[in-house]
């Protein structure tokens, strides 16, 4: 007989012999009968296992404590108690592994998120992280489904790269040189020709540049992979290692790009509502009473679209004293973004046409000579969830911009070939996967929506 997952057991008809396997969440009872709540990760719900103490060795029952792992064989019966339709009348119990109550850290309920981060290797055993990780999986699946259904091609872009896609310089170096004693050139600088790749390399901050090569050949592509940023940002919204989804589309102008971004996010949120309701309900009840309502409202509202200039105008006229001052040309902070979204409009906002000096080199330049066709999607509780743009397709303009910024073109010649040969208007954007998950789960800290967070001074586990 095969094991049935708890998610399945809970919807099976009573009156059959079953096997369940999982980890004990709680055990309670009296001298005649014990009730074990067993969870196997397939759902937030537990299956109740009823053990008549007379049927089992006292020694065995004593070893069944929170965190121990069991195989239970018994009859699935209609439950007498409230709270569940069925339960298992245990006939045989095998203990796979005990969990010493003195040592197992997940005894009582209601641990702080900070404490759970210190035991990130065990926190998937909690209701909260089980829910978050199932939702994370569902969102990853929905992302592939969304693009696959539209005929986009999934492109795998490299994680090790010699180019700085965002031109921001916040990259982790990759080297096999002896850092204590690297080979040097005559002028004392490090001789990277002797490094593993024969040049200076880093972990990628974005797959976009390679993605553009895909889009200008296959039409519509997306990437979905880890990206790395060595920025020292200790905030609830920044990770040093995060996952990003980057679609890139030939023949799309900025309006098409905005339409796709809006459709994409709404699809994902709707997918969560349709497929993850048990987990969302739990998170809604435990952490954020407005979660489900907020998710529903996003799927049914048109995002506001306005220019950066209009946005800055609203912020300057708001009379609010922000921590960071607002003026035309300022890079907007999360507090500004959230003011627009939460206070002023009460819905998601797409800001466009940013000053060129605060955006990356590849964005399409507007006629005014001051702004570029960038777009950021701003969300309640999060601020920026998506960053994207129409790309500069003119070789000359792109080269001029690269020169203005004094970037090294030698490493970018391959990229410029897309503008040299059959250049086309094209656009794309990047959705931060963990930022999406912050929104969908209602979690307050980005460290709690990825299994093993990587942040400044923390690479534990
Ligand atoms: O705005 P960003 O830097 O844009 C790019 O990387 C472009 N190449 C995307 C593109 O056009 N293909 O990053 C995109 C998104 C942000 O909007 C944010 O959601 C997320 O990535 N992000 C981070 N998420 C977690 N931790 C960080 N340190 C992040 N930095 C950016
Ligand atoms: Mg950005």
HSE (CB half, 13 Å, CA atoms) of 65?
14
Q: Which of 341, 346, 343 is nearest to 377 (CA)?
A: 341
- Enter the tokens of residue 418: 């897309």
Tell me the mean pLDDT in the region 204-210.
Answer: 97
The three-class DSSP label of residue 416 is: helix
Ligand 1 atom nearest residue 231's Cα: 28
What percent of the chain has pLDDT above 90?
Answer: 95
pLDDT tens sequence across 97-118: 999 999 999 987 789 999 999 9
Residue nearest atom 25 in ligand 1 by C-alpha distance: 238
Ligand nearest to the CA of 429: 1
E strands present in 137-200:
153-154, 160-161, 173-174
Using an 8 Å Cβ cutoff, are 405 and 412 in contact? no
Residue nearest atom 17 in ligand 1 by C-alpha distance: 386
A 10 A CB-CB count for 330 gives 16
Q: What per-residue confidence (pLDDT) applies to 431?
A: 98
Using an 8 Å Cβ cutoff, are 50 and 29 in contact? no
Q: In angstroms, what is the span from residue 363 Cα to ligand 2's centroid?
A: 12
Q: What per-residue confidence (pLDDT) applies to 166?
A: 85
Q: Is a pLDDT exceeding 80 seen at residue 164?
A: yes
Pocket lining for ligand 1, CB < 6 angstroms:
165-166, 206, 208, 229, 238-239, 242, 244, 246, 384-389, 428-430, 432, 434-435
Q: Is a pLDDT exceeding 90 seen at residue 429?
A: yes
For the chain, give the mean pLDDT. 96
A 10 A CB-CB count for 246 gives 25
pLDDT tens sequence across 385-403: 999 999 999 999 999 999 9
Q: Maximum distance among all alpha carbons in the chain? A: 85
> Lowest-pLDDT range, 37-51, 55-69, 99-113, 225-239?
99-113
CA 430, 433, 438, 439 dihedral sign is: positive
CA 133, 134, 137, 142 dihedral sign is: negative
Cα three-residue angle 21-25-27, rounded to 5 degrees = 100
Residue nearest atom 1 in ligand 1 by C-alpha distance: 387
* Probe target for ligand 1 pocket from 209, 430, 446, with the most ligand atoms within 8 Å of CB: 430
């Amino acid at each position: 007989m095969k094991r049935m997952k708890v998610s399945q057991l809970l919807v099976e008809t009573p009156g059959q012999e079953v096997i369940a396997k999982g980890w004990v969440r709680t055990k309670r009872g009296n001298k005649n009968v014990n009730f074990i709540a067993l969870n196997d990760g397939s759902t937030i719900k537990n299956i109740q296992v009823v053990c008549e103490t007379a049927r089992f060795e006292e020694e065995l029952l004593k070893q069944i404590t929170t965190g121990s792992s069991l195989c239970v064989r018994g009859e699935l019966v209609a439950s007498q108690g409230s709270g569940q339709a069925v339960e298992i009348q245990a006939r045989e119990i095998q203990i796979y592994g005990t969990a010493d109550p003195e040592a197992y850290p997940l005894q009582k309920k209601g641990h702080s998120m900070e404490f759970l981060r210190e035991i990130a290797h065990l926190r998937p055993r909690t209701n909260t992280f089980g829910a978050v990780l199932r939702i994370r999986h569902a969102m990853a699946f929905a992302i592939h489904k969304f693009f696959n259904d539209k005929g986009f091609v999934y492109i795998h872009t490299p994680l090790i790269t010699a180019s700085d896609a965002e031109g921001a310089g916040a990259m982790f170096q990759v080297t096999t040189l002896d850092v204590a004693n690297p080979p040097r050139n005559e002028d004392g600088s490090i001789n990277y020709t002797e490094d593993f790749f024969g040049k200076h390399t880093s972990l990628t901050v974005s797959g976009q540049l390679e993605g553009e090569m895909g889009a200008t050949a296959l039409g519509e592509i997306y990437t979905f992979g880890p990206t790395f940023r060595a920025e020292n940002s200790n905030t609830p919204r920044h990770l040093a290692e995060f996952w990003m989804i980057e679609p890139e589309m030939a023949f799309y102008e900025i309006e098409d790009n905005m339409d796709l971004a809006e459709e994409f996010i709404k699809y994902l949120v709707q997918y969560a509502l349709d497929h993850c309701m048990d987990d969302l309900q739990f998170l809604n009840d435990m952490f954020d009473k407005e979660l489900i309502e907020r998710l529903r409202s996003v799927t049914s509202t048109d995002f506001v679209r306005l220019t950066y200039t209009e946005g800055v105008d609203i912020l300057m006229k708001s009379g609010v004293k922000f921590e960071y001052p607002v003026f035309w040309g300022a890079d907007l902070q999360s507090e500004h973004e959230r003011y627009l979204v939460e206070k002023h409009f009460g819905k998601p906002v797409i800001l466009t046409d940013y000053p060129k000096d605060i955006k990356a080199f590849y964005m399409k330049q507007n006629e005014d000579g001051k702004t570029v066709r960038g777009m950021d999607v701003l969300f309640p509780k999060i601020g920026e969830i998506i960053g994207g743009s129409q790309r500069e397709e003119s070789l000359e303009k792109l080269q001029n911009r690269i020169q203005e910024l004094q970037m090294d073109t030698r490493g970018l010649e391959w990229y410029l070939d897309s503008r040299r040969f059959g250049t086309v208007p094209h656009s794309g954007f990047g959705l931060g996967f963990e930022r999406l998950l912050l929104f969908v789960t209602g979690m307050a800290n980005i460290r709690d929506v990825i299994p093993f967070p990587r942040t400044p001074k923390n690479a534990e586990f």
